[in-house]
Structure 1
């Protein structure tokens, strides 16, 4: 597995593994339920992603949307392919909320709503809170 996967905590943060993609819980939660959708292959541009991987991406994004709808109910989901620091193809999956959501009894907001997500800002969460988010998402995965 390539360096970008390890940067986002692979294998400990794996929510679901597919043939071409892996979905990881993003350790730095910008909003509740942030994930990373990463291509497993060591590919550095979207133009190099093969047709089989793109076809599978339709299933993966549908599964992401289903799990997020069942857990935290975002109004929108942003998929950001920045690849500025972490070079392999990956998307930051940022659920967007027009109001606060419950993080195991603690309300959390999306202060960037309805504008761009505040990617430099992360919720102050400990390992227990991250485990709770991951368990909720895994449990809701189709």
Structure 2
């Protein structure tokens, strides 16, 4: 896995893996269920990805949105490609909602709602919280086969 994927806690934060993409729990939760959607390649620019990665992205985003709707019941979802520090192609995925959301003993509000996500108010998960949230998302993940 590339350095960007490793920085976001791989393998402990792995929620789902596809041929070209990996979905990770974002260690710093801006909103409950914040994810990293990372290309498994070494590409550092979006158009450098192979055509198959773009085709697979449709299924990956369907799965993400289905699971997050079930677990978090978001109102909107934001995919932010913020490749300023971590160079490999990846998105920060933020489910957006008004008020608080809670699952597996973790509660978090959307401090930026209804405007842009407030990246300065992220909850740094401990190991136990990470394991519980990863397990919850995996339990709801659609079968890929």
Category of TM-score, reference length = shorter chain: over 0.9
- In structure 1, what is the Cα distance between the partners aligned to 2:93 and 2:130? 16
Shift of 1:49: 1.4
Mapping of residues 63-82 of structure 1, within 5 Å:
63-82=63-82
Aligned to 1:62: 62
What TM-score comes out, normalization by structure 1 length?
Answer: 0.95
Q: Which moves more between the two structures, 100-109 or 41-50? A: 100-109
- In structure 2, what is the Cα distance between the partners aligned to 1:29 and 1:67? 16
Shift of 1:50: 1.6
Shift of 1:98: 1.0
- In structure 2, what is the Cα distance between the partners aligned to 1:45 and 1:106? 34
- Identify unmatched segments of 5+ residues in structure 1: none
Shift of 1:102: 1.2
User: What's the CA shift string for 1:18-52, capped at 9, x where partnerless?
Assistant: 00000001111111001100000000001111211
Aligned to 2:30: 30
- Identify unmatched segments of 5+ residues in structure 2: none
What TM-score comes out, normalization by structure 2 length?
Answer: 0.93
User: What's the CA shift string for 1:112-140, capped at 9, x where partnerless?
Assistant: 00100011221143222222211111111
- In structure 1, what is the Cα distance between the partners aligned to 2:53 and 2:22? 11
Aligned to 2:85: 85
SS at match of 2:38: strand
Could you say what the CA RMSD is over the residues aligned between the two structures, in angstroms?
A: 1.2
Change (3 A) 1:99 1:88: same
Aligned to 2:131: 131
SS at match of 2:79: strand
